[in-house]
Amino acid sequence: MDGYSIDALVTKLPGHHIQERSVVHQEETTYFLTRTEAGQNQLAVYGPTGAASLANFQGTVQEFDGQSLLLGPLSLENAAALRHQFTWLNPIVLGLRTSVGLGDRLGLATPGHIRAVRAAGDHLAPIVAQQSIREMTRTGRTPQQVMDDAMWGVFAEGWRSGFGADADHLKTPADIDSCMAVGYTFYTFDPGEHVDSTADELSPQELRAHWETLPWDRLEDSATALTARYLSHPIQCEDYAITFDEATLQRATIKYGRAVAHAAFLYRHLEQVGAGRAWEVEVSVDETETPTTHAEHVYIATELRRLGVHWISLAPRYIGSFEKGVDYIGDVQAFEADIAVHAAIARTLGPYKLSLHSGSDKFSVYEPAVRQTRGVVHLKTAGTSYLEALRTIATLDPELMRSIYVFSREHYEVDKASYHVSAQLSRAPEPSTLSDAALPTLLEQFDAREILHVTFGSVLTTRTADGHWLFYDRFMEVLRTHPEAYAVDLEAHFLRHLKPFAAWENSEAHANR
């Protein structure tokens, strides 16, 4: 650091801790983050008095010995100025690299996420700005806040190997617009509301009746043309021949035709508003009642491609159960056999990545998924980082954790409505039976874990009768005043997630793929 070493500058910043991984020198100016004893982060810009580099930032300025030190908030304006200064703080497209989505509902998890990625070997491509519109609504955040919180975490950890920003579970053009406006690079389309899962149960007569009502105009197709394309010959995907008879084709089209049309509609809107920018698309049909068959996967991919949609990853609904925040429920060997065919389809009709949604804590299927996709895979997580925050709080503030658990039990039956979970209150430990020291064990118990997971929105947004936050202020204060504790918990937890994916990226097989 010109003029002063970091240690010498510390004497000029009483009550501040310099976050050393954040320190960046550029020409005569040094940029870094500080943290006060109360847990408040500030941007510091240190350089020659009058330097143009300081003029772009907001804050208070101290001058000494011909040098100026600006201390400013982690504001919208300072985030924009820092991104302009350092291009590596802007999200990028990740392509077919093995990638992991690291959703952060609190805006505090990115340092721990980055440490886990770095510890796993630096080869994985992280998406650190990731939140669905549904989650933003529940937590009272905006796309800009999600982006900025992630960027400050990237800066704090000195991560310069690139990251993505996922506008997750988009359903409308307005959702796309709000995220494109702030620079997201990864757009996850969620046409799940247009999937008709009843198709799996329709009789031959009912299939024919539903077939007639399909939106052929929006699909830019006809029943005759579609039938000719699929019934004339098997579709060979490596060692697997995917065959369609009339019922299979009708069922696939009834189940997913409207979803395909909606995804194409969203894609064309994205093409318009994203013209001249770099972005990539994921299509998600995972939040449906029944699994996506191999024939249905072929239908979805073939028809999306016919309609001009280009995507980097696809999230089918796999066999078994991917519930929130817990391990895979089902036969792991059957899962591997199933995803092997999905992966062959993705290589043949793409290539594109298979995406594992609700991927948090699915430890038993990571290795099979990586092996069968040959590393062309994306893991998407979110809620598990909130649960790790609860682990940190359980250790540091047991009284708060106990109150949150009691509250979550009271709200579970209502809050679980929009999630696919199977936890039962009767199987979760009663709060009165738990000592303070035992509270962290709630994060290891299946039912308690799901109960805590799906009630996050209520925990973070409920207010008292006089308008004050019930939990939010105290919740965030614990994490902000103990950032290392939270980062350590996150790093340890996510290393378990990332090691199977990093092992492939480091392998000889990856080098030869």
Cα–Cα distance measured from residue 265 to residue 375, given in angstroms and rounded to the nearest whole number: 30
Contact status, residue 177 vs residue 42, Cβ threshold 8 Å: no
Residue type present at position 99: S
Residue type present at position 55: A
Cα–Cα distance measured from residue 347 to residue 244, given in angstroms and rounded to the nearest whole number: 20
Question: Which of the 8 DSSP states describes residue 332?
Answer: H
> Nearest-CA neighbor of 354 among 400, 402, 322?
322
CB neighbours (10 Å) of residue 299?
Answer: 26
Candidates 166, 168, 415, 489; catalytic one? 168
- Segment (H or E) for 166: strand 164-170
> Hey, which residues does 25 pair with through a beta bridge?
30
Identify the burial level of 236 via C-beta atoms within 10 angstroms of its C-beta, where 0-12 means exposed, 13-18 middle and 19 or more buried. Answer: exposed
- Please give the structure tokens belonging to residue 137: 């609504």
Q: Which residue has the tokens 């510091």?
A: 44
How far from 398 is each of 71, 459, 481, CA to CA, in Å? Answer: 35, 16, 16
Residue type present at position 435: S
471 three-state secondary structure: coil
- CB neighbour list of residue 492: distance below 8 Å, 6 or more residues apart: none
How far from 390 is each of 92, 384, 404, 456, CA to CA, in Å? Answer: 31, 10, 9, 10
CA angle 161, 167, 173 (to 5 degrees): 145
CA angle 278, 284, 285 (to 5 degrees): 160
Give the distance between the most distant pair of CA atoms in the chain: 87
> Nearest-CA neighbor of 383 among 328, 449, 289, 435?
449
Contact status, residue 449 vs residue 442, Cβ threshold 8 Å: yes
- Please give the structure tokens belonging to residue 461: 């947004």
Q: What is the DSSP string of 60-78?
A: EEEEETTEEEEEE-S-HHH
> Nearest-CA neighbor of 479 among 470, 491, 489, 493?
489
Based on the residue annotation, tell me whether 508 is a catalytic residue of this protein: no
Candidates 282, 388, 397, 415; catalytic one? 282
Based on the residue annotation, tell me whether 168 is a catalytic residue of this protein: yes
Residues recognised as catalytic:
168, 282
